[in-house]
Amino acid sequence: MNIFARLKFADIHSHQAIKEGFVSSIKQGRIAHAQMFIGREGNGALGLAVAYAQYASCLDRGEHDSCGICSSCIKYQNLVHPDLHFSFPIYGADVNCDEFINDFRTALLADPLLTINSWFTSLNAENKKPNIPIKECRNIIRKLALKPYESEFKVLIIWLPEYLGKEGNVLLKLLEEPPANTLFILVTENQESILSTIISRTQFTRIPSYSYEEINQYLVEKNFANIDLARNAALMAEGNLSKAIQLSSEIENPQFDDFRQWLLDCYQGNVSKIISDMDAYTDKGKEGLKLFLNYGVHLLRSSLLVRHRPENNKLTESELEFANKLSKFIHIGNISQIYDGFNKAIFEIDRNGSVKLILINLSLKLKNCLRMPEPYKTN
């Protein structure tokens, strides 16, 4: 399974039956135009909504998943497809979601299990009141009145419509008679607080919370925790995978020192040092090396967010200190190349490529990426 924040079906943990149901209905052209995904926080529903829309829009659909390489998928995977729109809770009254969209894309790509708390923490807005204001509702109506740019249809994912309040009424007409070629997906954690008039106009899919076994398996496979710790975290998380990851990160990861040293060597272009340390990496074995690289991605991804969310970062103290330094070198201009480099390395290790060569190639790639300047830098 791909560990990176690409949001194909394969990237969303578990939920096999639901994915199969989605795939089969899309293949048969049975796409309800107003849908609601209902379930509790940390269940992967927002990621599923993106995966659903990506599959429906894919130009070369596979049997079980979108192709990941057509022009539509590539834009979907960076959440920049011109026919993919998001509405989500923000703060302030006279604002719309377009003003927050870059932050939202970054937050969701870094954490597909985004929660309202982690989203607001990433905005440095922990004390602000989340809402989807009337200005955003008007923005939605305006956007959906336009024709699709590239796809057969436009997609609007409304994450946490429970924050719409009374303003949601202006959307009712849209949901009742959606403009041609429009797909609404509402992703809610609390259907009781949504206007019943909105609920009655949508087709439901219930997204269950993760089971204890699913959480346990995820934590161990992704190297968030060893077996003992994963068991405890899975028990305490009560089906919330996001919470489980946070709980399990409260102890130091044994990979940390090795990874920090390796990344410093990469940045300095110290290839001879990397080669002379090679035994330490190859001794980890194929599976150990994959865990090492997986852990690295987790740390790099956290570094991308750490500038904005110093408090809710799922890192230990020494990881946080390192991530703070690293965050100056990780940005929207290089993160996807870095992810691709790790992905390729893990793939090649799986195919029994030469570990030495794979690591040297990745090291050189990282050296180049980490030295790229940050584009569109703002304060």
Residues that bind Zn ion (CB under 5 A): 58, 66-67, 70, 73
d(CA 28, CA 31): 8
Taking the complex as a whole, the smallest distance from the CB of residue 62 to Zn ion amounts, in Å, to 8
Of the pair 65, 162, the CB lying nearest Zn ion is at 65
Of the pair 66, 294, the CB lying nearest Zn ion is at 66
Taking the complex as a whole, the smallest distance from the CB of residue 187 to Zn ion amounts, in Å, to 22
Taking the complex as a whole, the smallest distance from the CB of residue 147 to Zn ion amounts, in Å, to 21
Amino acid at 96: N
d(CA 303, CA 310): 10
Of the pair 66, 302, the CB lying nearest Zn ion is at 66
The answer to whether the CB of 159 falls within 8 A of the CB of 112 is no
Taking the complex as a whole, the smallest distance from the CB of residue 66 to Zn ion amounts, in Å, to 5
The answer to whether the CB of 299 falls within 8 A of the CB of 323 is yes
Taking the complex as a whole, the smallest distance from the CB of residue 339 to Zn ion amounts, in Å, to 18
Of the pair 70, 116, the CB lying nearest Zn ion is at 70
Of the pair 62, 208, the CB lying nearest Zn ion is at 62
Taking the complex as a whole, the smallest distance from the CB of residue 10 to Zn ion amounts, in Å, to 13
Of the pair 67, 372, the CB lying nearest Zn ion is at 67
Of the pair 8, 308, the CB lying nearest Zn ion is at 8
State how far the alpha carbon of 332 is from the alpha carbons of 103, 189, 304, in Å. 11, 29, 8
Of the pair 58, 144, the CB lying nearest Zn ion is at 58
Of the pair 57, 139, the CB lying nearest Zn ion is at 57
Of the pair 7, 186, the CB lying nearest Zn ion is at 7
Taking the complex as a whole, the smallest distance from the CB of residue 340 to Zn ion amounts, in Å, to 17
The answer to whether the CB of 295 falls within 8 A of the CB of 221 is no
Taking the complex as a whole, the smallest distance from the CB of residue 72 to Zn ion amounts, in Å, to 5
Taking the complex as a whole, the smallest distance from the CB of residue 229 to Zn ion amounts, in Å, to 38
d(CA 66, CA 63): 8
Taking the complex as a whole, the smallest distance from the CB of residue 76 to Zn ion amounts, in Å, to 8
SS3 string, the chain, reads CCCCCCCCHHHCCCCHHHHHHHHHHHHCCCCCCEEEEECCCCCCHHHHHHHHHHHHHCCCCCCCCCCCCCHHHHHHHCCCCCCEEEECCECCCCCCHHHHHHHHHHHHHHCCCCCHHHHHHHCCCCCCCCECCHHHHHHHHHHHCCCCCCCCCEEEEEECHHHCHHHHHHHHHHHHCCCCCEEEEEEECCHHHCCHHHHCCCEEEECCCCCHHHHHHHHHHCCCCCHHHHHHHHHHHCCCHHHHHHHHCCCCCCCHHHHHHHHHHHHCCCHHHHHHCHHHHHCCHHHHHHHHHHHHHHHHHHHHHHCCCCCCCCCCHHHHHHHHHHCCCCCCCCHHHHHHHHHHHHHHHHCCCCHHHHHHHHHHHHHHHHCCCCCCCCC
